[in-house]
Structure 1
Amino acid sequence: MKSPKRFLIFYLSIGSGHLSAANAIKKAIREYGSEYRVFCEDLFTPAIRDSMLPEFLSLSSTLFFPGVYDTAWQSGSMMPGYELLQVMPVLRNRVMEILLHRNPDMVICTHSLPCSIMASLQSDHPDLPPVAAVATDFMVHPYWPIKKVKGFVVACDEARERLIERGGSGDRIRVLGIPIDPAAENLSIRERSDDIKRDTRFSINVLILAGGKRLAPYVATWPKTKNLMDMAMQLPAGRVHWNVVCGIPSAFSRLLTEFMKGREDVTLYEYVTDFMELLSRQDFVITKPGGLILAEAMALGIPAILVSQGSGQEAANSNIILSHRCGVLAESEKEVLAYLQDVLDYPYIAADAKRAALTFGKPSAARQAAAWFLQGMP
């Protein structure tokens, strides 16, 4: 195969991780040369993307039906319904229209649904370009296709082993990490050389992620965030600085702004455009177990305090992070404060967690994935 010049990256606008990974790959490929053309396309039409459907799908996994979702994610029990989605004319036609419009040499998918549709279409259209799959969580579920996928990028060895168990070929799987903004590489170098400027007025700096481009995935964390900020007054004054990212403006961000008036130990942010820079100045991040935020944190050596085990892919993310000792699970506000008090009393706890995060993190994931794609794989 000749070296590809035109790349089409399919994502799905559920949450923000799939698009963020697509943009990271796009940026990394373009850094290799101006001759490369990269197009990111949402499988959802603009009408679907701007409707409440993506928010509902996000909420269904975290609030409405977490148990059902977890079982389906682990076992593949919803495969018949998933296969029906793959053959829906509206989705297949959209994929074909975008392929004709963009005329790519390679298709990269950061979500399993467009990847499955591409694999299905290749059976009927063998002249379609090769497909690469990029997992944006630390484990892969049964809905990722194996056949007709030329290469997989996964986050860790455990995910690679899972794909091989399902029949994937080991020489087509690369453990490169979840693609994040290539800027993470320079920030990681600064972190490893201890060249990051932190707020020295406080003993530790903690970032709380309570929102992003989309709010639905974070709704379940809002009561905990407010309660934690109230209970944080129990910690010794001047020891912890809380940086709360609320995402796009919402009733919650307005409530928290009013609630935090006069608090010198709290800084509130709405949507942050230089999030990686802000994250790099922290000692811990408090978050739900989303794949992208955990990949960003690990790349910068920022241990995670997980406020829930999660379900489906989030439960799998939690298990991986905890097994690599890159974070802790603290499902109540009291547990969060107790852990941070231990960190204040015994600094080696933070040092050990930071070392584990730096060891596990993969700040060059996007660049290495781009290099592999430019070679044409595998």
Structure 2
Amino acid sequence: MPRILILYASLGSGHLHAAKALEQAFAHYSDVELQIEDAFDYASPILRETLTRLYKRLSEKAPELYRVIYEGSDIDDLEDSMNGNLVLAQLERPFFKRLENLVKQTNPDIIICVQQIPSRILQLLNQAEELPQPHYVVITDVIAHSTWINYGVTGYFLPSALTADVLVRRGVDPSLLHVTGIPVKLEIAEPKAMDAMRLRHDLPIDRPVITLFGGGLHRKRVRLVVSQLLESNRPGVLVVAAGRNEELLEAIEDLENGPQMQLRKVGMIDYVDDLVTASDLVITKAGGLITSEVAARGTPMVIIDPFPGQEEWNADAIAAYGAGVQLRLPEMVPPTVLHLLNNPEQLSFMRDRARLIGQPRAALTIAERVMDDWRSRTQPSGETVPQPV
């Protein structure tokens, strides 16, 4: 029975969602023992509080400073970047002693990291020959920052061929790179019909549906977009999904249906995939997970306000593939949405491109690859290898 430890770090929600998707995928195998842990739960409270506050303040108050730090720390030379990550890990190590103890005490057969920080710490154990088990890394950004690449990694699971190409150009061994897509929840791999999802959630079948995921967007910019779309003469339904962004719901509380465009406002929901399937178009930020989920359903995107650094790179990739458009000015969103709705051929092209890059089975593919590797190591010893059920 292989014991698998999945490690993430709670800087943003995307890493947790990817870890949960992997949990679903490995549940298809009988007798696999799975444990998912937030590395920050095993870190010094001082470090955890400092990093989470710093990330939050930079993202909300100083995104351009974050861009300078993020891009400035991305090192092209492979050896220099890996040695830099090693030094950073040595500095972090005193704050992650409990994480080291977790790995040693649980002694899993396989470790999968869905964020850079735990992977950095593990490479120190590998160098000390205290990490005999394979150590995989699941990269959740289309363009991988150099902090993802560490010593002692058994294999990297990548969002796209573009990610692999960038890493090969930097000197990473191609045999370590596996293009699988970013792991998304398994329900996205199940067929769903647009009309059925609209009927399920009381949305009209005879007019366009646009969904705006505004959880990570500034309330004033969203209000501007929503107000202008409501003023249009294009029949349709605009669904604003605010998530945990209560300030956003307050900012648009007074907005009502326009002459032709209806407005639906929702907070936290458990049917995001239904909404994506029901939509002709999705307006969103460029987080690695949300864009992967939308692309996996083949739904075109209008990307607004990508966070400097990794989100801008994700947005560039989506636009380059033709699966969406990236806009900096909120004033450009309504005319772009209306243009696309009035040009079904262009929208159809974007849908086809999204389907080409979407990887709804990514989590299952990663699980299959990990278990195949396990099989190749354990078969000679006669161990029974779990099979998917």
- Shorter chain as normaliser: what TM range? 0.7 to 0.9
1:27 equivalent in structure 2: 24
Amino acid of the structure 2 residue aligned with 1:259: D
Which of 249, 254, 262 is residue 250 of structure 2 equivalent to?
254
How many Å separate the matches in 1 of 2:344 and 2:169? 41
**Shift of the alpha carbon at 1:75?**
3.6
Which range moved further: 110-119 or 336-345?
336-345
1:113 and 1:76 map into 2 onto residues whose CA distance is: 19
Question: Counterpart of 1:299?
Answer: 296
Q: Does 1:367 align with 2:364?
A: yes
**Superimposed CA distance per residue, residues 283-327 of structure 1 (whole angstroms, 9 cap, x where no aligned partner):** 111111111000000000111101135421112111111110000
Asked if structure 2 preserves the Cα contact closer than 8 Å seen for 1:184 and 1:363, the reply is: yes
Matched AA of 2:158 = V
- What residue is the counterpart of 1:103 in the other structure? 107
Aligned to 2:55: 57
Contact 1:196/1:280 (<8 A) preserved:
no
Residues 249 and 49 (structure 1), Cα distance of their counterparts in 2 relative to 1, 3 Å cut: farther
Partner of 2:40: helix, strand, or coil?
Answer: coil
In structure 1, the residue matched to 2:159 is 155
Aligned to 1:243: 239
Which aligned pairs between 1:190-201 and structure 2 lie closer than 5 A?
A: 190=192, 196-198=196-198, 199-200=203-204
* Distance change in 2, residues 1:66/1:169 (3 Å): same
C-alpha contact 2:76 2:170 (8 A) present in aligned 1: no
SS of structure 2 residue aligned to 1:41: strand
Shift of 1:226: 1.0
1:81 Cα offset (Å): 7.6
1:43 paired with 2:39, answer yes
CA 1:254–1:128 in 2, change beyond 3 Å: closer, same or farther? farther
Cα distance, 1:233 vs. partner? 2.4
Task: Give the Cα separation in 2 of the matches to 1:162 and 1:249.
Answer: 35
- Alpha-carbon distance change, 15 to 155 in structure 1, aligned in 2, over 3 angstroms: same
1:171 partner letter: S
The structure 2 residue matched to 1:86, chosen from 69, 79, 89, is: 89
Aligned to 2:262: 265
Match of 2:72 in 1: 72
SS in 1 for 2:197: coil
Q: CA RMSD in A?
A: 2.6
Identity within the alignment, %: 23
- Is the CA contact (8 Å cut-off) linking 2:243 and 2:269 kept in structure 1? yes
Deviations 1:85-122 (A, max 9, x none): 41234444122122134321011001111111111221
2:117 corresponds to which residue? 113
RCO higher in structure (CA 8 A, sep ≥6): 1
CA drift of 1:143 comes to 1.0
Q: Offset of 1:52 from its aligned partner? A: 7.4
Distance, in Å, in 2 between the alignment partners of 1:105 and 1:363 is: 27
Distance 1:50 1:310 in 2: 22
Q: Per the alignment, in what secondary structure is the counterpart of residue 9 of structure 1?
A: strand
Distance 1:158 1:249 in 2: 33
| Conserved? CA contact 1:291–1:317, under 8 Å | yes
Aligned-residue offset at 1:360: 1.1
Quote the residue 1:168 is aligned against.
Answer: 172
| Deviation string, structure 1 residues 245-292 (Cα, Å, up to 9, x no partner) | 111263332333x22356671111211223222222111111111110
How many angstroms does 1:8 deviate by?
A: 0.6
Q: Which amino acid aligns with 1:128?
A: P
Match of 1:234 in 2: 231
Within 2, Cα distance between the matches of 1:268 and 1:73? 40
2:126 paired with 1:130: no
Name the CA distance, whole Å, in 2 between partners of 1:91 and 1:134.
23
Distance 1:365 1:242, change over 3 A: same
1:360 partner letter: I
Instruction: Please give the secondary structure, in 2, of the residue aligned with 1:265.
Output: strand
Separation (CA, whole Å) in 2 of partners of 1:184 and 1:10: 23
Contact 1:43/1:94 (<8 A) preserved: no
Tell me if the contact between 1:73 and 1:312 (Cα under 8 Å) persists in the aligned partners.
Answer: no
Q: 2:54 is matched by which residue type in structure 1?
A: F
Q: Against the structure 1 CA distance between its residues 76 and 63, is the aligned structure 2 distance closer, same or farther, given a 3 Å change threshold?
A: farther
Take 1:292 and 1:206, find their aligned partners in 2: how far apart are those partners? 19
Task: Report how many residues are paired.
Answer: 361
Task: Rate the CA distance shift 1:58–1:376 in 2: closer, same or farther, 3 A.
Answer: farther
The 1:196–1:151 alpha-carbon spacing in structure 2 relative to 1, beyond 3 Å, is farther
What is the CA–CA distance in structure 2 between the aligned matches of 1:49 and 1:294, rounded to whole Å? 30
Deviation track 1:169-206 (CA, whole Å, cap 9, x = no partner) reads 222211000000011100xx335xx6653333562211
Q: 1:300 to 1:364 in 2, by over 3 A?
A: same
TM-score, length basis structure 2:
0.84
Say which SS state the counterpart of residue 192 (structure 2) adopts.
Answer: helix
Q: Partners in 2 of 1:223 and 1:94 — Cα distance?
A: 42
* Structure 2 CA distance for partners of 1:355 and 1:362, relative to 1, 3 Å: same
Alignment of 1:356 with 2:320, yes or no, is: no
